[in-house]
Amino acid sequence: MTTATAEDRIRDTVTSNDVVLFMKGTKTMPQCGFSSRVAGVLNYMGVEFADVNVLADEAIRQGIKDYSDWPTIPQLYVKGEFVGGCDIVTEMTLSGELDQLFEAKNIAYSKDAAEKIREANA
């Protein structure tokens, strides 16, 4: 029996969940500020998402960087597509691009919460 490679497990996770956040820690117990910020935005906006704790698996921690060709954690995926890390997700939230992405991909989220984030950061 062959065990799935880190890349296989990452691909399976990304394709079988609408929204996935590869992060340090979990959505309820983030282990770094950047992971906490992105998880916080998603939680606040009421987005259902799978969280993958890269600290629990070194193969995944390195594998996700290779998979996306992106050097940092956290990494957000929506419907199998790499969206970005903390800075990109923050910018997209503030510009309204994240709302547009969720709408285009039929991802449920709170428009009111997204507006509140923008108001608070205006």
For residue 51, tell me if it sits in a domain.
Answer: yes
The total of structural domains in the chain comes to 1
In the numeric block, the tokens 């050097």 are attached to 71
Give percent of the chain above pLDDT 70: 98
In a domain, 1, yes or no: no
Question: Is 109 a member of any domain?
Answer: yes
32 is in an annotated binding site: yes
Residue 29, judged by CB atoms within 10 A of its CB (0-12, 13-18, 19+), counts as exposed
- CATH number of residue 82's parent domain: 3.40.30.10
Q: Distance between terminal CA atoms of the chain?
A: 55
Residue 77 pairs in a beta bridge with 20, 82
What is the b/e burial string over 60-86, where b = at least 16 CB atoms within 10 angstroms of the residue's CB?
A: bbebbbebbeeeebbbbbbbeebbbbb
pLDDT above 90 coverage of the chain, percent? 95
Parent domain of 87:
6-120
Tell me which residue of 95, 69, 97 sits closest to 82, measured CA to CA: 69
Tokens of 59: 């193969």
CB-based contact 60:22 (threshold 8 Å): yes
Q: Is residue 93 part of a domain?
A: yes
| 26-57 pLDDT tens trace | 999 999 999 999 999 999 999 999 999 999 99
Q: 46 in a domain, yes or no?
A: yes
Residue 103 located in a structural domain: yes
